[in-house]
Each structure stands twice: as structure tokens, then as C-alpha cells.
Amino acid sequence: MMYRVILLLLLCIAYAAHSAPQHAAEGVSASITVPMDYQQPGLGGFPLRYELGRPFDATKPTVCIVADGQQFFLSPGSVAKLQEKWFDDRFNVVGIPGRMYAPELAQVCSLPDGGTNWLLAYRLYNSRQWCRDIDAVRQHLLGKTGRIMLFGGSGGGYLILEYLSRFHAHVKRAFIYSTPIPPIDASLGILKDTFPTDVAALGSDYTGLLQQALVNFADQRPDLVMLLSRQHYFHTADELPKARRDLLCKLADGDREAFSSKKEAYQVNAINNLFASSKGPAIRVRMYEFIYPVLQIVTLDGEMLYPTLEMERNSALPVLQLCEQGKIAAPEWDVQGLRAMHAELFVLTAAHDKAASLMSHNLLVKGVPKVIHFVAKDDHILKSLTSAGLFHETVRTFLIHGMHSNAMTKQMKKLETYRARH
């Protein structure tokens, strides 16, 4: 999980700010000035960078690829490639790499001793600001009443839902996939971190081996829980039990060489470096928004180990402490906006997703007036649909033609072979 950290590790691509659109091999880059804090504009503004995959054409529909503070597939310089991968020249494709890439905000949040002003970081990096940024770019490109289309998965899908709850009148269609919805998960008592039962299913010895591993690496527990959480991203469902057995045996034996090797292989070191970078505060704020609802229904300091939840709590700790001290509000979830919207929504759920709950998606779509909900026999990254060429094709068909079109009817028939029965 780490719900949204689909770290393709496009971490440190240089990004030069441009004051006006220009055509280059990586697409068209531009910036607009927006408030650092939309709630208190007096703090000043900064140049919000965005990119177009091709020069803007007012006659074409415009789709915004949405990523949040946990995702790096939408990194500076990537939008032209994403347009080629996901879309075609029928669209204007726009991406906003996001506030985490703004050095102006990072500098404002930095303290003289090298630390972070977490109260200010929360103000500047919370999801309400990201949503307002998306809307500012929409207005800049399409005008005050222009309607955009949205596309995103995992944490980006959740940010789309947050945007829709506030600005749905400015959206024509939206496509989300593999989207965790922490507030709904919490309301249903759902813990997507099934690690305790997964370990028990490995065999009677493995719970004991896990306990020994926790003792052996107690001095590096944060890295250990991250390692255990990250493992499932790197193995198929069939491979994972053997990989877990092998890893737990080595950790129970105190094999520090294996521990070090797997930290590198499973990107633990890369994530730690990222948290320590100028992008770290934005990521930690977003993690707070994801983990807070779940922490209301689970205890992480008991006998059961939930490595993903513990990892998320660790990463969000500076912001969680602000909430515990009453200095910031708990994250809010406005489902009423979704129930009132007229935009069309496609929700793609993977039946074997370890990060996004089918039950939560089922509850979500009950309150949305215009929605297609397809549950695929697939995993979080939708390998089967992608391999078949149907994932990208479905996105394009829905966004261009809409849910009630003949083209969409034909596309749904193509998907039928991949439908999960539940």
C-alpha cells in the first residue's frame, strides 16, 4: 500500500519555470501566479507550474491528469509522454506537477535551523489548496465557466473526488481507478492492511518469526515496517507468499545484509530520502489526510502489526501531533457535493486491490447520480487490463464519448471478459 506511493521514482527531474507557454520536446510548460494560501491571500503568491502535452487547442476537450502529494508519475517534464501513453491528439492534456515542486513554498516552510514550520506546511499543502490550484489552471485555460475532464488513480483519484465535491459544476467527466477512500473505509470499519492474517496464512511458524524479526531490528523499526509494507508492490499475488516466507526467515535470523539489500530493492531508502527532501512536508501533509480517518478505528501499538498503517502514521506524525494539540482541524469529507453533481464519473475498481476497497467503492457510487462502476479481475496497477490494451482505450472512450454513447456500450462489452463476479 502506502496507498498512493506508486513510486516510479521520477524524483528529481529538473524543472525550469517559464512565464509563458513554449513548445519543447517535453511538451508545453507554463506558470500562473496563485496564492500560497487561498484562505489568506495576504501571504503572497507563487508561480504554479503546469504543463500541456501539446500546444493548447480551444476546439479540443481538455483533460487534467491529477496526481497528489504521494505520486510522482506526474513529474515535471512528463506530460507529453503521458499524453502519448494515455491519450491522443483529440485532447488537450494538462498536468500540474503540484505544490511539492514549488521551491517558493518549501522555502517559506523552512526554519532557520533546517527544520519545518509544520503549521504553515499544513496550511500550504493541504488538499484544499491542491484543489484550488487545479481550478485556477482550469479557469486560466478555459475561462471562468469552462468545463474540464479529470483523470487519475490511487491518491490522484481521491483528490479528484475531493475536487468534485467542491467544483463539480466545472467538470464534464472524470475517470478514477484504484482509488482509496479513507473516510469511507473508516466508516465501514475496513482495514486494507491485512498483514496479520496474511502472515498467519503463511504457516504456524511465521507469526513467531515476525516477532523475532521485530526484536532483531527494533532499532530500525520504522524501516522494518516500511520494508514489510512495500514488499507486495514488487511481487505478483502468486509470488508474494514465498517472498514473504523468505524475507521473514532472513529477518528472524538477524540477516542485516538481506535487510539492507531489500531496503534498496523495495525503495525504502528512496522514500526516506524523499521525506528528507524539500518535497517531504507536502507528502507528510497528504499522508495525514489519508491516515487520520483510519487511526480512529485501529490501535497500532498493540500485539498486531499493521506495517502499512504504522508506516503512514510515522510519515504523518508531525502533522498528526498538530491535530492532537488542537492546532489544526481533522480532515473533512464532503460527500454531499458528489451527490449533487451532474458530471459523469467512471469508477474502475480492481477486485484484488490491496489499497482500495471494493466495499467503499460500492458505497461511493450509490450516491453519485451519473456513474459507471466496473470491477475488474485485476490488481492495484491493473496489469491485466493494461496488457490487453483495454485500460487506456476505456479511458479515452469514456472521456471522449461519455457514458451513454454507442462507443461506450461497445467498450463495456469488450471489458466483460475481465469483469469480476462479486
Q: Is residue 268 part of a domain?
A: yes
Instruction: Kindly report the length of the chain.
Output: 422
Beta carbons of 167 and 342 less than 8 angstroms apart: no
Cell of 362: 460500492
Q: Could you give the CA distance from residue 224 to residue 246 in angstroms, rounded to a whole number?
A: 15
Q: Are residues 155 and 253 in the same domain?
A: no
Q: In terms of Cα–Cα distance, which of 331, 354, 377, 323 is closest to 2?
A: 354
Q: Which of 305, 324, 343 is the last residue of a domain?
A: 324
**Whole-number CA gyration radius for the chain:** 21
Helix (H, G, I), strand (E, B) or coil at 73: coil
Cell numbers that stand for 380 in this block: 492495484
- In angstroms, rounded to a whole number, what is the distance separating the alpha carbons of residues 248 and 245? 5
**Amino acid found at 185:** D
Residues 67 and 173 in one domain: yes
Residue with cell 499475488: 237
Return phi, psi of residue 216, to 5°: -60, -35
Is residue 9 in some structural domain? no
Indicate whether 294 and 241 sit together in one domain.
Answer: yes
Q: Do the domain assignments include residue 1?
A: no
| One domain for residues 118 and 50 | yes
Distance CA 345, CA 372 (A): 6
Would you state the cell numbers that stand for residue 89, as one nine-digit string?
491528439
CA dihedral 412, 369, 185, 220 (to 10 degrees): 60
The bridge status of strand 148-153 relative to strand 62-65 is: parallel
**Cβ neighbours around 297 below 10 Å, total:** 13
- Same-domain check for residues 173 and 261: no
At which of 303, 324, 345 does a domain end? 324
Strands 92-95 and 62-65: parallel
Residues 269 and 381 occupy one common structural domain: no
Task: Give the pLDDT of residue 336.
Answer: 85
Query: What residues pair up with 372 in beta bridges, in sequence order?
Result: 346
For position 377, what pLDDT does the model report? 93
Residues 166 and 282 in one domain: no
What distance in Å separates the CA atoms of residue 406 and residue 422, rounded to the nearest whole number? 26
Listed residues 272, 289, 324: the one ending a domain = 324
Instruction: Please indicate, yes or no, if residue 11 is contained in any of the structural domains.
Output: no
Q: Is 84 exposed, middle or buried (0-12, 13-18, 19+ CB in 10 A)?
A: middle
* DSSP conformation class of 19: S
Query: How do the pLDDT tens digits run along the chain, 422 residues long?
Result: 333 333 333 333 222 222 233 333 457 999 999 999 999 999 999 999 999 999 999 999 999 999 887 777 778 888 999 999 899 899 999 999 889 999 999 999 999 999 999 999 999 999 999 999 999 999 999 999 999 999 999 999 999 999 999 999 999 999 999 999 999 999 999 988 889 999 999 999 999 999 999 999 999 999 999 999 999 888 877 899 999 999 999 999 999 999 999 999 999 999 999 999 999 999 999 999 999 999 999 989 878 999 999 999 999 999 999 999 999 999 988 888 899 999 999 999 999 887 899 999 999 999 899 999 999 999 888 999 999 999 999 999 999 999 999 999 999 999 999 999 86
Asked whether 184 and 208 are in contact (CB, 8 A), the reply is no
Where are any strands of DSSP class E within 191-343? none
- Amino acid 54 reads R
DSSP, collapsed to helix, strand or coil, labels residue 246 as helix
> Cβ distance 259 to 251 under 8 Å?
yes
Provide the pLDDT for residue 200. 95
Q: What is the pLDDT of residue 333?
A: 87
- Residue 136 shares a structural domain with residue 202: no
Q: Judge whether 15 lies within some domain.
A: no
4 within a domain of the structure (yes/no): no
Domain of residue 239: give its range: 195-324
* Same domain? 310 vs 412: no
C-alpha cell at 195: 498483514
Q: How many domains does the chain have?
A: 2
Same domain for 228 and 202, yes or no, is: yes
Residues 396, 256 share a domain: no
Residues 352 and 319 in one domain: no
Evaluate whether residue 12 is within a structural domain.
Answer: no
